[in-house]
């Protein structure tokens, strides 16, 4: 038979510590940083975000989302033959061992299963779907666990109100499995390293110490301008590859960076705002976790139904961006 990759199950996890804008503003004011619920919401659409506890690692969040996705898919850990984990906030300095390997151990997978991390920042989940789809269709793997997990609260400069109010922690997971029916209809990924400095962590490790800043830095206006442009382009690209038009899409499930970017993409594609899955209001920007988190929320809420066409897309540091058309 012709092999296709389809979504078998989804899962997500948010740390219990919910920080709304008022609480964050009050905390920042103690450090001399002024902001407000209105200032944050009007610029981003964010009302709250979740922060991991001090003893919670990215792999802990990933584990919870993965277990839920496996249960939803009706798969045991022994049936998973590859783990792909998208993150910019790995458990260990330097990213090794990979957080995917840590999750593999925590899941108790001792069978012949590969595991590795993907680093494409906020586009990491789209990159992971692109890769997993190819691996399943080629016959290399049958059941792939894809996870997006982040603890961005660890890399935020709480003296910079333009960035520290935007991000949150969380994890989302998807089990992709082989199917005789098309599921992942098309994918595309792109990068442009000439924009590497507009969203990055500029510090480096040298002789056991950090040289430069270990905090996230962002040129917000530059990122906004490019994001709207490339997201429209990659959406048009994957729709064309799938032989569909924007009117054929039931739900847009974008990276939850900023409500204005998301609404700008909807407008350019000519679809209704009612077809937009929005979680940024309560989650903030959870980077690689945001698309699978939003996907799981859309499915568990009953909005997204089997047989519907979904468009996922994300853009992040690199600059990297990607998208996929999925028949759920």
Q: Summarize pLDDT for 101-144 with one digit per residue, the tens.
A: 999 999 999 878 999 999 999 999 999 999 999 999 999 999 99
**Closest Cα to residue 290, out of 314, 271, 272, 319?**
314
Note the pLDDT of residue 111: 76
**Closest Cα to residue 8, out of 112, 63, 79, 58?**
79
Q: Do domains 4-180 and 185-327 have the same CATH topology?
A: yes
* Structure tokens that stand for 20 in this block: 């709304």
Cis peptide before 97 (omega within 30 of 0): yes
Cβ neighbours for 46, distance < 8 A, ≥ 6 positions apart: 21, 40, 165, 166, 259, 280, 281, 284, 285
Q: Which residues of the chain have pLDDT under 50?
A: none
Task: Tell me how many degrees the CA angle 171-173-179 measures, rounded to the nearest 5.
Answer: 170
Note the pLDDT of residue 266: 92
206 given a catalytic annotation: no
**Positive or negative torsion for Cα 269, 270, 275, 279:** positive
> Among 101, 113, 122, 164, which one carries the catalytic annotation?
122
Contact 137, 177 (CB under 8 A): no
Gap between the Cα atoms of 268 and 251, Å rounded? 15
Query: What superfamily would CATH give domain 185-327?
Result: Thiolase/Chalcone synthase (3.40.47.10)
101 given a catalytic annotation: no
Note the pLDDT of residue 95: 85
The domain limits of the chain are: 4-180, 185-327
pLDDT in tens, 130-187: 999 999 999 999 999 999 999 999 999 999 999 999 999 999 999 999 999 999 999 9
Note the pLDDT of residue 112: 83
Rounded to two decimals, what is the model's pTM? 0.96
Collapsing DSSP states into helix, strand and coil, what is residue 32? coil
Whether domain 4-180 has CATH 3.40.47.10: the reply is yes
CB contact burial 48-66 (16+ within 10 A = b; e otherwise): bbbbbeeebbbbbbbbbbb
Note the pLDDT of residue 104: 97
> Among 21, 133, 258, 285, which one carries the catalytic annotation?
285
Cβ neighbours for 240, distance < 8 A, ≥ 6 positions apart: none
Note the pLDDT of residue 94: 82
The strands making up 143-151's β-sheet, listed across from edge to edge, are: 4-13, 169-179, 143-151, 82-86, 114-118
Note the pLDDT of residue 296: 98
> Among 50, 130, 141, 255, which one carries the catalytic annotation?
255
Q: Residue 250 carries which DSSP code?
A: S
Q: What is the mean pLDDT of the chain?
A: 96
């Amino acid at each position: 038979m012709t092999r296709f990759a389809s979504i078998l199950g989804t899962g997500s996890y948010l740390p219990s510590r919910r920080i709304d804008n008022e609480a964050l503003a009050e905390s920042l004011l103690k450090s001399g940083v002024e902001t407000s619920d209105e200032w944050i919401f009007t610029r981003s659409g964010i009302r709250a975000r979740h922060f991991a506890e001090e003893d919670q690692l990215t792999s802990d969040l990933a584990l919870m989302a993965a277990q839920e996705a496996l249960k939803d898919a009706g798969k045991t850990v022994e049936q998973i033959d590859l783990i792909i984990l998208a993150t910019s906030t790995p458990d260990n300095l330097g990213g090794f061992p990979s957080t995917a390997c840590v999750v593999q151990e925590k899941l108790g997978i001792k069978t012949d299963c590969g595991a590795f991390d993907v680093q494409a920042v906020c586009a990491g989940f789209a990159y992971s779907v692109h890769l997993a789809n190819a691996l399943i269709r080629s016959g290399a793997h049958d059941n792939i666990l894809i996870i997006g997990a982040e603890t961005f609260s660890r890399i935020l400069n709480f003296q910079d109100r333009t960035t520290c109010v935007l991000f949150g922690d969380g994890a989302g997971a998807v089990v992709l499995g082989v199917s005789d029916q098309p599921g992942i209809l098309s994918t595309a990924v792109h990068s442009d390293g000439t924009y590497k400095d507009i969203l990055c962590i500029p510090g480096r490790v040298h002789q056991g110490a950090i040289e430069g800043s270990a905090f996230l830095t962002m040129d917000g206006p530059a990122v906004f301008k490019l994001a709207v442009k490339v997201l429209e382009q990659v959406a048009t690209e994957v729709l064309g590859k799938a032989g569909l038009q924007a009117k054929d899409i039931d739900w847009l499930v974008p990276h939850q960076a900023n409500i204005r970017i998301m609404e700008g993409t909807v407008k350019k594609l000519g679809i209704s705002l009612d077809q937009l899955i929005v979680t940024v209001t309560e989650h903030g920007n959870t980077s690689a976790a945001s698309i699978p988190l939003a996907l799981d929320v859309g499915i568990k809420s009953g909005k997204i139904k089997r047989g519907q066409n979904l468009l996922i897309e994300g853009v992040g540091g690199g600059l990297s961006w990607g998208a996929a058309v999925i028949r759920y």
